[in-house]
A = this chain, B = another copy of it.
Amino acid sequence: MEFKVNDIAMILNGTVEGDGEIIIHNISKIDDGVPGTLTFLSNPAYIKYIYSTRASAVIVSTDFVPEGALSCTLIRVNDPYTALAELLKMYQQLKPARSGIEQPSFVSSSARIGEDIYIGAFAYISDSVIIGNNVSIYPHVFIGDNVFIGDNTTIYAGVKIYADCKIGSDCILHSGAVIGADGFGFAPNAEGPFSKIVQVGNVILEDMVEVGANTCVDRATMGSTIVHRGVKLDNLIQIAHNVEIGENTVMAGHSGVAGSSKVGRNCMIGAQVGISGHLKVGDNVKIGGQAGVMSNIADNSTIIGSPVQDHKDFMRCMAIFRRLPQMSGDISDLKKWMKQSEQK
């Protein structure tokens, strides 16, 4: 793929400073750009690299004022990051899309499949499955009985979806994701092993949900585990049975939500966070990495720690935690002094 800088600027509704006839054939990072590539400058921490980058062109903000000589062509736009995102999207769309039904694959005769779809070799589609239009199902995907999959959804190689689950439109499920495995439900027994509580519910992923690689969303005991519209789950996350994750909430890798907890909308949840069962986390909550949530959390909270507390309070307490040896010494001194004073 090759484009002139002028053509890219036109697409991005930007203006060119420098040689607009240069040919661009790839995208690079500003700190390791090579000739023939286009890069961008959005984070101020990276401004220093623009004076030495070997990339041929750089997308910058309309109000960027260089403080040194530049050897690259500039494309000025209102918001370089958004412009880049658009460009990356176009770049991907130029790649040839997979299509058709490869053989050998296994598609039940009772499955209903939409148009313009891709089903890779070794994919398995069970009875009574319904698949919308423009869906991509990569090799080694397993789709259980009665599963519904909406339009424009991409399911990468090796995803497993158990029976009765519903996947919305415009979703992306990455390799190794497991949707609808049994919730972890057992009843203690007077004697011997726990009894399994059969999990008869399902999982609902609404539209525009992205599920990272090897992330697990368990089916409900009864009813549904629900991941609402626009939620983005990173890799290796655990969403337990009967959990509900609110619209547009994002969760980073290795986080987990235990059974029956409800997380609100627009939350940002860091990596390796644990949320205990049967809790309610409000809307717009920010949770720092490795936090342990063991109680309900009010809307708009910013929390961290295990168990969690307000973010600023935690940082204050941690700063003192690190001075504990000195504090302990101070107390010893004070006690000694008190003893001496009393003996006088």
Chain A residues proximal to chain B, CB less than 8 Å: 27-29, 32, 39, 81-82, 84-85, 88-89, 91-92, 102, 104, 106, 120-122, 124, 138-140, 142, 144, 156-158, 160, 162, 172, 174-176, 178, 181-182, 184, 186-187, 192-200, 208, 210, 212-214, 216, 218, 221-223, 229-230, 232, 234-236, 238, 240, 242, 247-248, 250, 252-254, 256, 258, 271-272, 274, 276, 289-290, 292, 294, 306-307, 309, 313, 316-318, 320-325, 327-328, 330-331, 334-335, 337-338, 341
Contact = CB atoms under 8 A, between A and B. Distances in A.
Q: Number of copies of this chain in the oligomer?
A: 3
Contact of A248 (B106, B192, B253, B321): B192
Contact of A197 (B85, B174, B306): B85
Contacts of A175: 142, 160, 162, 178, 181
Among all A-B residue pairs, the 10 with the closest Cβ atoms: A193-B230, A142-B157, A88-B198, A160-B175, A178-B213, A181-B213, A238-B253, A320-B324, A124-B139, A106-B121
A82 B198 CA distance: 11
A85 B198 contact: yes
A240 B253 contact: yes
Contacts of A320: 324-325, 327-328
Given A122-B140, A272-B274, A317-B322, A184 B253 contact: yes
Interface class of chain A by DSSP: loop
A37 to B, nearest CB: 9
B323 A306 contact: no
